[in-house]
Amino acid sequence: MGYRVKTVSAMTGIPRPTLLAWERRHDILEPSRSPAGYREYSDADVAALRRLKALVDSGYSIGESVELARSASPPPSREPVRAPPMVVAEPLFADHGLVVHAILRALLAFDRATADRLLPKLGQVSFAVAIDRVFVPVMYALAEKCDRGEVSIAQEHFVSGFCREHLLAMYHELGGGPEGGVTVACATPSGERHEFGLLVLALKLALAGHRVLWLGIELPTADLCAFLAAQRPRFLCLSFTGPIAKEELVRFGRSLREGAPADTEIVFGGPGVHDHVGTLAEGVVVFGTVAELEARVGRAEPESWRSRVVREPRASG
C-alpha cells in the first residue's frame, strides 16, 4: 500500500498539479496503481520528490534538478525500498553533495559546460559556503580518486584548473580583502606547484577582513626576501604539499628570517609539513590548520593602526 497523490503533496510541499506535471514531463517516477486506478507512491518516491524539491528550492530548474538527481544516484531499483525516516524541513542547499558529485563527474568527462551550468546556482550561497561545501569537497574527491590511480593527469589538471579559476575569481572579487587590514602574503616555495590549499587559506583570511597579497607559486627565496623587506607584510604564509625534512625546513625558515623584517611572522603549513607543527625558530612557526592561522592573524593588530603608531610624530616635551 502506498500514499495517494494528495498525501504526497502534503508530505513534500509540492502542489498536486506541479507534482503531476513533473511526473508527466520529466519521467521521474512511475507510481503503481491501486485496484481502483489511483496513483500510489512508495516511501522511495516520496524521498526522491523531496530531493527534487530541495534542489528546485535552491534555484535549479526542474529539468536541471532531475538531471542532477539522475547523475548522482544509482539506477532506481524496481524493488520497493524502505526510505529513511522523514525529514520535515529541508535546509536550503541541502543537496550540495549531489552538486559536488555532478560537477566532478562532468569535469572528469571534460564537460565544462555542464559543470558551469551547475555552478551559477552558487550565486545563492556565500563564498565561504561555496568554498567549504563545493570546491574543497570537489578537490578532496579528486584527491581520493587520484590516490586510487583512477584519474589521468589530463583529468587532474582539468578539474583542479576549473576549481583554481573559480577561487581566483573570488579573490579578485574580494579585491584581496580590505585596505588597512592585517597584511598576509601567501606563496609557495620553489619547487612547490600545489596551490589549492593556499588559495583556500587566502580566501578565508580575505573573508575574515584581512589584506591578502597573493604571490602565487614557486617563489625563489631571494625574491621572497626582497619582497618582505620592501613590503613588510605582518605575516608570510608558505604552503608545502611535498614532504620536507625538519632540518631542511628549519634551515629554510632561518634563511627567510634573516632576510625578513623583524615584525613579519613567518608561517608554514600544508600536508608536507604536518609532522613539524610547532615553533621551528624564533618568528617561524608551522600551523596544522587554517583555523589556527586565522585565530593567530585575528589577534594581530590591524595594519592601519600599526602604521599610525609608526608614522605619527612623537609629541615633543
Q: Binding residues for ligand B12, per CB under 6 A?
A: 136, 139-140, 142-143, 146-147, 156-157, 160, 164, 191-198, 200-201, 237, 239, 241-243, 267-271, 287, 290, 293
Query: What is the chain's alpha carbon radius of gyration, rounded to the nearest angstrom?
Result: 26
Note the helical H segments in 61-218.
Answer: 62-72, 96-108, 112-118, 127-130, 136-147, 153-174, 196-207
**CB 125 → ligand B12: shortest distance, Å?**
18
**CB 221 → ligand B12: shortest distance, Å?**
16
Shorter beta-carbon distance to ligand B12: residue 42 or 188: 188
Q: How far is CA 27 from CA 30, 49, 66, 235, in A?
A: 8, 12, 9, 56
User: For the CA atoms of 33, 37, 38, 43, what is the dihedral angle to 10 degrees?
Assistant: -10
**CB 169 → ligand B12: shortest distance, Å?**
14
Shorter beta-carbon distance to ligand B12: residue 253 or 270: 270
Shorter beta-carbon distance to ligand B12: residue 40 or 156: 156
**CB 296 → ligand B12: shortest distance, Å?**
9
Shorter beta-carbon distance to ligand B12: residue 89 or 153: 153
Closest among 282, 284, 170 to 238, alpha carbons compared: 284
Shorter beta-carbon distance to ligand B12: residue 121 or 276: 276
Closest among 224, 276, 232, 231 to 255, alpha carbons compared: 224
**CB 225 → ligand B12: shortest distance, Å?**
18
Pairing of strands 278-281, 284-286: antiparallel
Shorter beta-carbon distance to ligand B12: residue 55 or 167: 167
Instruction: Report the Cα 224 to chain-centroid distance in Å.
Output: 28
**CA distance linking residue 162 with residue 286, whole number of Å:** 29
Written as nine digits, the cell of 73 is 544516484
Shorter beta-carbon distance to ligand B12: residue 66 or 151: 151
**CB 292 → ligand B12: shortest distance, Å?**
7
**CB 283 → ligand B12: shortest distance, Å?**
14
Identify the three-state secondary structure at position 111: coil
Per the CB < 8 A criterion, the answer to whether 72 and 33 are in contact is: no
- 136 burial level (CB within 10 Å; 0-12, 13-18, 19+): middle
